[in-house]
Amino acid sequence: MKITASLLPAFLGSAMAASIPSTSGNHIKASSSCTFSGSTGFDLLNKGHSSCQEIVISDLQVPAGKTLSLDKLNPGTTVTFSGKTTFPYTSSGFAGPLLSISSSSKLTIRGLSSSVLYGSGEKYWDGLGQKGPIKKPKFFQVHNLEDSVIEGVTILNAPVQVMSINGCKNLTVTSFTLDNKAGDGDWKAGKGGRNTDAFDIGSSSNIVIDGAKVYNQDDCVAINSGTDITFRNGLCSGGHGLSIGSVGGRSDNTVKNVLFENSVIANSENGARIKTNYGTTGLVSNITYRNVKLQNITKYGIMVDQSYGSSSKNASPTNGVPITGFTLSNVTGNVLSSGTNIFINCGDGSCKQFEWNQVDVKGGKKSSKCLRVPSGAWC
């Protein structure tokens, strides 16, 4: 990026007071460190971030209806969030994302211990999620990153879906926090968050999510496609649990080699769940839940459903997306009395190689509607 004489005073203002890019002639060197803050930092960031190797975003105010874009950063760039990054509400609606980081490699994206990314979700929540009259912005788009790390990021009050991981390879997310506890409202009364999935993963490989704390109102994790994905040492509270799927009907419909381990799912609709879409094709293979504790599950402790998305509640499950290899090891805990401990609804010949050991889920009802329960599992 060229810095003309007229632009230099702006770069010396408060938005970049902490560190000033070193220059050579009219160019910022790629090795420079840049800090962007306040109400003027957003415009300067859009003009100058591609030339900064170390970026600090400090108490930044993003204009309403705008995306904080950190796409196409130089490989090896470090981005640090400090203080409060604010994404204001807009009554005109906005699809988002609020934050985008894509198309680069060897990035380190980190939040300092006191930092927070605030999405103004409480001003959007109407109990309708994406079906509401005002379009709500998705939060964090992480697309086409390789060999990168996201660590210590805290998100407060996301309007709807939070982190979309798509087309990524060798990505590690550590110590991530989503605090949407304030969205636990009464949907029927037109209150509260909805569709606030913490992690939606597609077409990605070698993804590790370690030490996440999620308080939300939808899937803690939903893996729609991808291979070699691990979620461990996590807490999921208030949402729909740890989910595979829904799988089928997309451009990529394969999920393979997934491990959920050493985690707690509390006060959620579901615990461990695999859902494949009705009348579609694909593959779900080698899925393991290990050392997972369920607490106060309200709907299904363990659920496998191969009729997901059908327009009829009584539709027979289809077998176009076989589930081959579903291992549960030391999955224990309780379901509330109004819920169901285990529900399995498989298509003809499409659930195979189930291996369940030390599975003890109690407190709820025993289902009378299970269909084609494979050897190695029970209902």
Least confident range of 7-11, 46-50, 165-169, 327-331:
7-11
In three-state secondary structure terms, 9 is helix
Tokens 């938005």 locate to 15
Q: Which of 27, 49, 143, 240 is catalytic?
A: 240
Q: Tell which phi-psi region holds residue 195, choosing left (phi > 0), alpha (psi between -120 and 50) or beta.
A: left
Q: Given CA atoms 248, 250, 254, 257 in this order, what sign does their dihedral have?
A: negative
Tens of pLDDT, residue by residue over 113-149, are 999 999 999 999 999 999 999 999 999 999 999 999 9
Tell me the CATH architecture of domain 36-362: 3 Solenoid (2.160)
Provide the residue type at 274 as one letter.
I
Residue 196 token pair: 């606030």
Q: Are 352 and 377 in contact (CB under 8 A)?
A: no
* pLDDT exceeds cutoff 80 at 238: yes
In sequence order, the 6+-apart residues with CB closer than 8 A to the CB of 231 are: 199, 209, 212, 221, 242, 259, 260, 261, 263
Q: How far is CA 354 from CA 83, 134, 188, in A?
A: 47, 43, 38
Beta strands 116-118; 99-105: pairing state: unpaired
**Residue 327 burial by Cβ neighbours in a 10 Å radius (0-12, 13-18, 19+):** middle
User: 16 pLDDT exceeds 70?
Assistant: no
Read off the pLDDT of residues 260-314 as tens digits, 9 standing for 90 and up: 999 999 999 999 999 999 999 999 999 999 999 999 999 999 999 999 999 887 8
pLDDT at 316 over 50: yes
Which one, of 200, 148, 210, lies nearest residue 176 by Cα?
A: 210
Mean pLDDT score across all residues of the chain: 92
Is a pLDDT exceeding 60 seen at residue 165? yes
- CB under 8 Å to 43, separation ≥6 — which residues? none
Residue with more model confidence, 31 or 70: 70
Does the pLDDT of residue 204 top 60, yes or no? yes
Q: Is 49 a catalytic site residue?
A: no
Q: Tens digits of per-residue pLDDT, 329-353?
A: 999 999 999 999 999 999 999 999 9
Query: How far is it, in rounded angstroms, from Cα 291 to Cα 30?
Result: 45
Give percent of the chain above pLDDT 70.
92
Largest CA distance in the chain: 76
Give the residue extent of every domain in the chain: 36-362
The predicted pLDDT at position 31 comes to 53
β-pairing, 213-215 with 52-60? unpaired
Polymer length of the chain: 379
The pLDDT of residue 23: 31
Strand partners, 292: 263, 331
Q: Is the pLDDT confidence value at 4 over 60?
A: no
